[in-house]
Amino acid sequence: MGAETGTRNFDDIGRIPAPGDNVAIATRRLEAGTVVVHEGRSWPLTHTVLEGHRFVLEPIAAGAPLLSWGLPFGRATRDLSPGEYVCNEKILKVLAERSIDFALPAEANFRDHMETYAFDPGTFKPGAQVAQAQVPATFTGYRRPGNRGVGTRNFVIILATTSDAAAFAEAVASRFEAVNDTYPNIDGVVAVTHTEGGGEHRPNNLDFVLRALAGFVVHANVGAALVVDCGAGSYDNETLRGFMQSSGYAMDEVTHAFMNLGADRATELERAVETVREWLPQVNACQRSDESVANLRLALQCGGSDAFSGISGNALAGWVAKEVIRNGGSANLAETDELIGAEPYVLENVRDEATARCFLDKITAFKARAADHGTTAEGNPSGGNNFRGLYNIALKSIGAARKRDPEVRLDHVIDYAAPMHAGGYYFMDSPGNDLESIAGQVASGANLILFITGNGSITNFPFVPTLKFVTTSGRFSLLADEMDVNAGRYNDGESMATLGVETFGLSLRIASGERSKGELAGHSQVAIWRDWPQRDGSRLEAIRNAPVPDGEPLQVVAAEPVELSFEAYVTAHGHACDRIGLVMPTSLCSGQVARLVAEDLNGRRLNGVSRFVALPHTEGCCTVNAEDLYLQTLLGHIEHPCVRHAMLLEHGCEKVHNDAVRHYLDSRGVDFSRMGFASVQMDGGLEKVRDKIGEWFARELDADAELETENVGAEALRLGLTSVGPVPAAVSLALARMVAGLAAAGATVVIAENASLLADGAFTGALFDDGRWVASLAYGQAAAKPGCHVMAAPTENAAEALTGLGGTGVEIMLAHIARAPLQSHPMIPLIQVASDTHVCDRFGADLDVALRADASGAAIEGAILARIAETASRHYVPKLFGQGYSQFQLTRGLLGLSL
């Protein structure tokens, strides 16, 4: 554990961020009773203090402020003496959820406090920018035509206009995995996908999304862009094209095409592949040339922050940014909520009064948006942040602001994803969510990302290199294969100037083509600032007071039981249609690692399961008001009837980490015998955690490898049902009869609340006794009782509805579509049915059941039931599901918000 006992000199075990601070940071774990010697005084520590946590350095009177970097982050609730462990209620709660081996204080000794910043124009003085270099440094990059700038990489991107096109974009990119072998000047063909635009109505974040997509298309690292759209979202390619034209984006200066998907997947995939293939010689012809650092645009970002982020990592990034700006380049600071409380420092050196006011306006707007959703920015620090010593948003902000060096002036304040048009230091409005913030910075033109992490976040972006700084030497040693820069050397005595010169040189080498650790690891992820559901606070109380579903099946009309049989696996808990090994990431940060692990496991062909599945997603950190929905859906998947064994994979610094999941599962009486737990950070990085998970599954399945099947009836069926677009009356009535008959036979049927069928009087009148229904299950809640259920679906997005249905425990899904086919759930087969002649003609090769317009109700019901039985028996694999055309996307409900 690195525990310290006995008497210790303060300089060996603590740090004071700034002169005048009255609390200090422990640089290693210190045991209760350790005697600290400081400036001729000594005192014992009252409790064990973890690395990164704080202890009292000077006497603090009750009500007086606790200071770090000279700024207040709390007020003492009683008189505090040197040696006392500093703790608020939040940190005691967080530590209680963790597996710790020491006693905690009985109560908090300070309450959170943040000074309200008041701008005083009477005392304001414009700041000065760092002096410019006489001869700018250079790097080698890709000079783009017009005003697009200089790229540090040369990619072809396959950009999904909305989330509905995500799986298609990934399929196109997968056809070019070895492109660099033939075209050495092309760094790759990559999919750029996200979570937005999957509904029907204009989202509140539309301007943000359009700026982000537009910025991606014209980015200097992009040699060509194929923009794909299936035409079923809340905006489309024409929306994006019109926005780019009216906003002056340099569309004519980049090779691109807008592709609207109008036929079956195989046909459109070949069309897209051929388009990209024709571009490759032209993109490859672009050569690197010597370019001034004035063309370097840094994104300054932090994630998995800890108490040392402001001391070492952020300060080092600020030093490098200063050097880039000194050479005429630009740097972009973001994460609005992570600067609340640090306004005095941020505005110590600012260009003019208008810039200062604009910065403060962004903070005010962020606070107002949070209030509309019934929360505050206090929800920002994750469980991992807290565990590593960031007790509240004030402490996190004070450290985060250190990415601006004191000598550097804040020159510009821009909206999310708005372009950077000149050199200097920028602040860009964004949430604290790492991925969402990075996407905005990239769209603004950032061509190199400096990512500072205390816990060891392994975030990467698809077409812009990420240079990762870790804040302590101990964590760097643990994750040396994933981290680029050990900023912890500053804590160990290395000068900031020495580290700065070294890291600036590395940054230029990475910009010139040297691969970063993240690029070598081969995983990346994109998330745009997610839509916020509420435009004001008028619905807040109604949403909070909405009735909670009771889990009881709904009353349906009397019907003859459906006769249906299929071959199912025999399990300890009943029957199941499949036997799966699940790798479940606890948050967005471990999602892509989970995917790589599952791919590796599928290559091993272990006995006892048909396949391994990972469910990457964008949740579990940097959000508020969505945790219950997420955890409930996570629980439904790891306890799903088809899951034989599940491995929970944390990143290590997120809000929903392994200990938090254990706590949640334990509170619900969940059996842990079929579950394992792994950590990207604590298990030592990607390769080590992959080996650990592989060994765990091999061991568990070796002792439990036999698979037995038997024939079962409709009572063993668990079916999910949804629909998109109009459903003909004959089909509605046939589906209603089928659901009623399945319920009568003892099956479980769960209908998504946002299914168009439930707005169809023919369907509801034929299914429910009085034609009325209510949601009987919450989103992602497991259906404990057979019968007909409706699952709450606070979303317009079809993929989010299917994800929630997965959590209910359904083993087969059925969707009637009147548009392009849906992306399947990655784990649960989706049968896609259409009856519209135009849809059947265009997408017939992707449909599992194409109904004739003149078919009788009995024929419709018979065709669908036959396909369900074939699929449940594994004799038929739904077409798009079998091709991996899938997406897993969680809703944030009606109050979820990025922080």
* 167-214 residue pLDDT tens: 999 999 999 999 999 999 999 999 999 999 999 899 999 999 999 999
pLDDT tens readout for residues 744-757: 999 999 999 999 99
pLDDT over threshold 90, residue 610: yes
Question: Two tokens at 652?
Answer: 């290590």
**Residue 601: which H helix or E strand, with range?**
helix 591-604
Question: Two tokens at 690?
Answer: 């992959």
The arithmetic mean of pLDDT across residues 22-43, rounded, is 95
Residue 311 gets which letter from DSSP? I
pLDDT over threshold 50, residue 2: no
Q: pLDDT value at position 654?
A: 66
User: What percent of the chain clears pLDDT 70, i.e. is strictly above it?
Assistant: 99
**DSSP β-ladder status, 23-26 and 14-15:** antiparallel
pLDDT over threshold 50, residue 1: no
In 3D, which of 576, 587, 734, 711 has the Cα closest to residue 640? Answer: 576
Q: Count Cβ atoms within 10 A of the Cβ of residue 497 and give its class: 0-12 exposed, 13-18 middle, 19 or more buried.
A: exposed
Query: What CA–CA distance (Å, rounded) separates 750 from 718?
Result: 8
Which neighbouring-strand residues pair with 426?
332, 412
Query: What CA–CA distance (Å, rounded) separates 400 from 407?
Result: 16
Place of tokens 């080498």: 509
Q: pLDDT value at position 605?
A: 86
Q: pLDDT value at position 655?
A: 74
- Answering whether pTM is above 0.85, one says yes
Query: What CA–CA distance (Å, rounded) separates 839 from 375?
Result: 44
Residue 124's SS3 state is coil
Which neighbouring-strand residues pair with 228?
160, 259
Q: Are 511 and 503 in contact (CB under 8 A)?
A: no
Give the number of C-alpha atoms closer than 13 A to the C-alpha of residue 702, restricted to the C-beta side: 6
Which segments of 164-289 does DSSP mark as H helices, in order?
166-174, 179-182, 206-217, 237-247, 265-284
Q: pLDDT value at position 105?
A: 94
Residue 166 gets which letter from DSSP? H
pLDDT band at 845 (very low <50, low <70, confident <90, very high): very high
pLDDT band at 97 (very low <50, low <70, confident <90, very high): confident
Q: Are 63 and 75 in contact (CB under 8 A)?
A: yes
Query: What CA–CA distance (Å, rounded) separates 45 from 23?
Result: 13
In 3D, which of 182, 181, 156 has the Cα closest to residue 169? Answer: 156
Q: pLDDT value at position 708?
A: 92
Query: What CA–CA distance (Å, rounded) separates 721 from 793?
Result: 12
pLDDT over threshold 50, residue 165: yes
φ, ψ at 390 (rounded to 5°): -95, 95
The C-alpha angle 102, 106, 111, rounded to 5 degrees, equals 115
pLDDT over threshold 70, residue 4: no
Residue 521's SS3 state is helix
